[in-house]
Amino acid sequence: MKNTPVRRPVCVIGLGLIGGSVLRAAARAGRDVFGASDVAVADPRAEPTVAAALERAASEDALVVLAVPLPAVDEVLRLMAKHAPECLLTDVVSVKEPVAAAVAKRLPGARYAGGHPMAGKSASGWDAGSADLFDGAAWVVTTEEDTSPEAWREAVTLALDCGAQVVPTTAREHDAAVARISHLPHLLAAVLAATGAEGGSLALSLAAGSFADGTRVMGTRPELVLAMCEGNRAHLLDAVDDALGRLGAARGSLASTGGLAATIRAGHEGREALNDLRAAGAEEIPIDLTDPEAFETLRDLGTAGGRLTRLEGDTAIGTLPV
Amino acid sequence: MKNTPVRRPVCVIGLGLIGGSVLRAAARAGRDVFGASDVAVADPRAEPTVAAALERAASEDALVVLAVPLPAVDEVLRLMAKHAPECLLTDVVSVKEPVAAAVAKRLPGARYAGGHPMAGKSASGWDAGSADLFDGAAWVVTTEEDTSPEAWREAVTLALDCGAQVVPTTAREHDAAVARISHLPHLLAAVLAATGAEGGSLALSLAAGSFADGTRVMGTRPELVLAMCEGNRAHLLDAVDDALGRLGAARGSLASTGGLAATIRAGHEGREALNDLRAAGAEEIPIDLTDPEAFETLRDLGTAGGRLTRLEGDTAIGTLPV
């Protein structure tokens, strides 16, 4: 708001938990917002149909934000090619390679930068959304060699407007990372919930914090978890193989020597690494966006656990954990 | 407090998170409490040595509560055989069959009923304890054919005094259940934390609720997790094999058809079963403790997910989810 007094309107397609929260958060930042959803949403900012919202986006030169589950992306892109082919485009879908491929196919030449806010909760739908869902959260913006700088800046501005911090990385690196820290946790939560319930009412009656926390995300609607996990098949397979190897090694060790020290110590170190990163101080790094190698510098920042916290004209201000 | 104006003093051996909380919670209920720990605890209720605490327990006819990790149980029982062999005995150790076996070996004929409060947090030690840790929690009291009725009543009274609800079951049923809802969650949290950290700083920077919740218990000191999990080897192996089977099936399905529906739906149903049990109403059931089949009735209550909420003279009041 400091640097760009007048901002492009935001058109959110898909008004579930995430899309509905993007719309509210962008409105909180003072931006004009509207959107549409397959499911009827009782809000004056919801247009009656996706086509109507896209037509309005075209007439107002709005930023279009795809906020539908992956299986619905293709159909929305088809409508966008028809009604708003020139609009700047980002998305908040949980995987990035498949969305980039769909955009390349349906809207070749589109000015697009992918996005993914790392926030959520087990409740879903418009009513579960809130303007503060993304405050302080990480929000990936894909930063490839050929990403449109204009779309990139729009996606970054939206993320910052929504209260998030931007993690610049590639679609591929993103998908590999979220397989480990989002999709695998959902799959292990499913395995744990089913294995626990197999113990019957006595076991569930004894369940305390470890089981409740470890299965919390299984309160989410299965269709949403499936769309997310199945859409990241190749990277999730890598992560599952890693987990299967570790769990199998633990099983072998428990059966042979009775010991689990290697497994538990590695787990403790992994959790400590997360705690350390969250407790780390931050060093500010200005990145000149007019530098031809700016995107490479930005990706390196993301790889090192850094984030962008604001834009100042042609300079992005990054912070790096120290 | 309503029914037994004067209660036996409580002697807690081991003043970490759980033992320290038992001591505080029993004191909150108006009982005389003292204890001892290997680690020095700056509290006037802590005796200088375990031997001194046990001698005092013998002289005051106190209930002795073992609250040390499983590997230390044998040594405390050896001291108890020397200093307080006649005292009523319970424990709050996380597995029950190994403790029962150690008691049978070190203190044959002891009046003993095992206990296990299902509460905790990732911080450990005396300073982390609190009087309200067990409020509303489940607290298993082992209820075998040959359990001493006097010790059983003492263990139940202690649990109720501490604000918990009692789940009556056998050591074997308890150990099988906690393998699924406590020890397996810790092991899966270890696997998840290590697999996530393998993704480097980018992955940890993107970690949100699902990873943070799924790895929370790995903040606990590894020695405590190891003592708990390794002490329940046979039952934990069963639970791990169940989990490995489910994760392997998910892997196969993801690789062959790309689908995870069976896994995610079973996980969702398991979590819903937990939610349903917690939201269920409760039907009150009085159980006559002078009935020769009272213990069998009590175990059936536990198997069905029921709990005891109070004692009224010779009647235990149970609640059953409906």
CB-CB under 8 Å, A185 with B192: yes
Q: What is the pLDDT of residue B1?
A: 41
Which of the four pLDDT bands, split at 50, 70 and 90, describes residue A1? very low
User: If you count DSSP H runs as helices and E runs as strands, how many of each does chain B have, helices first?
Assistant: 13, 10
For testing contact with chain B, the best of A247, A264, A307 (most B CBs within 10 A): A264
Residues of chain A with C-beta less than 8 angstroms from the C-beta of B242: 195, 198
Q: How far apart are CA A280 and CA B195, in angstroms?
A: 21
What pairing do the DSSP bridges indicate for beta strands A115-117 and A138-142? Answer: antiparallel
CB-CB under 8 Å, A198 with B242: yes
pTM of the model: 0.90
In chain A, residues 76-105 whose CB comes closer than 8 Å to chain B: none
pLDDT tens, position by position, B102-130: 999 999 999 999 999 999 877 889 999 99
Q: Is residue B4 over pLDDT 70?
A: no
Residue of A nearest to B278 (CA): A205
pLDDT tens, position by position, B140-163: 999 999 999 999 999 999 999 999
For testing contact with chain A, the best of B96, B181, B213 (most A CBs within 10 A): B181
Q: Which of A3-17, A108-122, A224-238, A287-301 has the lowest mean pLDDT?
A: A3-17
Q: Is residue B306 over pLDDT 50?
A: yes
In chain A, residues 230-259 whose CB comes closer than 8 Å to chain B: 230, 233, 236-237, 239-244, 246-248, 250-251, 254-255, 258-259
Q: What is the pLDDT of residue B34?
A: 98
Whether chain B has a CB inside 8 Å of the CB on A194: the answer is: yes
- A307: burial class by Cβ within 10 Å (0-12, 13-18, 19+)? buried
Tokens of A284: 């500010």
Residue A271, CA atoms < 13 Å, CB-side half-sphere:
26
Which of the four pLDDT bands, split at 50, 70 and 90, describes residue B236? very high
Whether chain B has a CB inside 8 Å of the CB on A198: the answer is: yes
Closest in B206, B261, B268 to A181, CB measured: B206
pLDDT tens, position by position, A155-202: 999 999 999 999 999 999 999 999 999 999 999 999 999 999 999 999
Q: Is residue A122 over pLDDT 90?
A: no
Residue B130 makes CB contacts below 8 A (sequence gap 6+) with B21, B24
CA distance A85 to chain B (A): 31
Phi-psi category of residue B285: left, alpha or beta, with phi > 0 → left and psi -120 to 50 → alpha: beta
In chain B, residues 4-43 whose CB comes closer than 8 Å to chain A: none
Residue A290, CA atoms < 13 Å, CB-side half-sphere:
4
CA distance A84 to chain B (A): 32
Q: How far apart are CA B150 and CA A236, in angstroms?
A: 55
ipTM for the complex shown: 0.93
Q: Specify whether the CB–CB gap between B159 and B136 falls below 8 A.
A: no
pLDDT tens, position by position, B25-74: 999 999 999 999 988 899 999 999 999 999 999 999 999 999 999 999 99
Q: Is residue A310 over pLDDT 80?
A: yes
Classify B294 as helix, strand or coil.
Answer: helix
CA distance A8 to chain B (A): 28
Phi-psi category of residue A272: left, alpha or beta, with phi > 0 → left and psi -120 to 50 → alpha: alpha
Residues of chain B with C-beta less than 8 angstroms from the C-beta of A192: 184-185, 188, 243, 267, 270
Q: Is residue A4 over pLDDT 80?
A: no
Reference B117, options B138, B99, B86; nearest CA is B138
Q: Specify whether the CB–CB gap between A203 and A148 falls below 8 A.
A: no
Q: Specify whether the CB–CB gap between A214 and B214 falls below 8 A.
A: yes
Whether chain B has a CB inside 8 Å of the CB on A218: the answer is: yes
**Bigger pLDDT: A220 vs A6:** A220
Closest in A221, A236, A302 to B254, CB measured: A236
Residue B70: its H or E element:
helix B70-83
CB-CB under 8 Å, B236 with A270: no
Q: Specify whether the CB–CB gap between B56 and B101 falls below 8 A.
A: no
Phi-psi category of residue A33: left, alpha or beta, with phi > 0 → left and psi -120 to 50 → alpha: beta
CA distance A86 to chain B (A): 31
Classify A115 as helix, strand or coil.
Answer: strand
Whether chain A has a CB inside 8 Å of the CB on B209: the answer is: yes
Tokens of B28: 């909150």
CA distance A249 to chain B (A): 10
Q: Specify whether the CB–CB gap between A167 and A141 falls below 8 A.
A: yes
Tokens of A153: 């800046």
CA distance A73 to chain B (A): 18
CB-CB under 8 Å, A240 with B217: no
Q: How far apart are CA A54 and CA A79, in angstroms?
A: 8
Reference A111, options A153, A61, A148, A59; nearest CA is A148
Residue A261 makes CB contacts below 8 A (sequence gap 6+) with B222, B226
In total, the C-beta contacts within 8 angstroms joining chain A to chain B are: 393
pLDDT tens, position by position, B204-224: 999 989 999 999 999 999 998
CB-CB under 8 Å, A167 with B205: yes
Q: At what angle do helices B70-83 and B50-60 cross, to 10 degrees?
A: 50
Whether chain B has a CB inside 8 Å of the CB on A266: the answer is: yes
Which of the four pLDDT bands, split at 50, 70 and 90, describes residue A260? very high
CB-CB under 8 Å, B181 with A263: no
CB-CB under 8 Å, A240 with B206: no
DSSP H helices in chain A = 17-28, 50-60, 70-83, 97-106, 149-161, 171-178, 184-197, 200-206, 209-215, 222-230, 233-256, 261-279, 294-303
Residue A291: its H or E element:
none
- A221: burial class by Cβ within 10 Å (0-12, 13-18, 19+)? middle
Q: Go through A119-156 and write b for each residue having 16 or more CB atoms within 10 A of its CB, e for each that does not.
A: bbbbebebebbebebbeebbbbbbbbeebbeebbbbbb
Q: How far is CA A139 from CA A71, A262, B207, B210, in A?
A: 21, 34, 11, 16
CA distance B200 to chain A (A): 8
Residue of B nearest to A189 (CA): B267
In chain A, residues 109-168 whose CB comes closer than 8 Å to chain B: 118-121, 137-138, 140, 167
Q: What percent of chain A has pLDDT over 70?
A: 98
CB-CB under 8 Å, B241 with A268: no
CB-CB under 8 Å, A269 with B173: no
Which of the four pLDDT bands, split at 50, 70 and 90, describes residue B83? very high
Q: Is residue B2 over pLDDT 80?
A: no
